Structure 1
């Protein structure tokens, strides 16, 4: 049985897939990224890691195999144990083990397992159909500052106000003496029209300048409103405990497992030991496999659970692991 196929199927739906007696594959969601140096865009994905300390059977993989193969749960557990023996043998003989579509396991000089994930497979189902792409840089037109725009308008007005002189040869002047009186009357008319029209023209220029200034200010305000600020060192998230009027307890998603017992009396005994040591322990009801799980404690964030788990492994129980389930 090639259980790597079933592990890959579960990684699309769960954050932790445990291989009993061997370790657990963990999936963490990573948001979309932009590589500015190459203008490359990467879709959201799940990064896969391996934790050799999580070895207890949570029943997830065995149940999935039993349903897919249409067989019993006990047979699925036996098949997993057999495959784990083969993996361990191959890893110690070849110092490396390739798991299809998941990654590569290697043993270092200290016989510790190092995991290299397969970057070609994206286990984030929401990113189905999305691929990496490269987009060229956008060339934006350089907008003139407000002062330069006003200067251009004023320059245009000055050029339009410059008088145009036409030089007429003396010979032609003599021939057109009869038209001078009409020209004089026309010039006088122009002067009168200019004295009246120039103030109106100045008012029009002032109105256009005001419109330009208003448009510039509006664009500046839009740029400020559309701006996005990225904080290099974000403030850590604050977890608030809200008191509820209902008697139902707040469900937490992360739990450190102390063990699972067939006997309820043994589970209560272990619970009493943990309470005596100062842990906020809990005993869960019997699960579908007939066991009574005992918890060291429950947490609202994975970081808090991981921190306490490391301390528990060093001081109390090397086999402690994190259960991800809303309880």
Structure 2
């Protein structure tokens, strides 16, 4: 049983996933931050932790397994108990248990479970597609020194301090502005005259066209048969997400790529971060959506995930 796959699916939607007899994986949201030393921007995310004290079965994990595998709830509970016994036996032997996309569990010298989370995946769906961004600092004083050096070799000074020594530039500027305003006024008058003439001609043409239409009689001897188009419209609140793109053209390209592979791909709009989301398909039935998600992960994209969202 791929227990870590079920846990990973639930961590996208819940803040606590309990494994009865072992402990609970917890998440808490961390806001976006900027590192002043490295000038790196980190997007918001969910940080994972593990609490060995929370071992009471809350029913979330076995219910999800029972629904996905189409087995009774009691059978799912027994499978978890058997899996936990295997994990504990390995931990006692000093081995490290790796939960894919979640983290590693290992026993310390005191017999307690230590957890090292996996940092390569972000379970915060609102931040899907956002990566770490680094930028360099701006040395403003250095740039100013370069500008002052360039000003010494050009005929027209740039800095306000040196403009005082060339008063004739002020009068040249005034003259240039006056010429520009005069030309702009004349140009506007000429354009307005042309637009007025065009409007009169357009109204006359429309009047003549209306008269012709009223006088005409249309007779179709062999009308074409009516065509009926059947268009399948996707609906439902369960969407299998293929990716989110900041450039909409890239999302259009992704939709065409997936459609060429036989998927009912489409765009479902932009999220609150302005990223255009592309889905493989949308479903009304939760079980059908979960089955389709497993197929997509196995056949095409292991990073696909299920979004539960009501579209407008």
Q: TM-score, normalised by structure 2?
A: 0.46
Q: Report which of the two structures shows the higher radius of gyration computed on alpha carbons.
A: 1
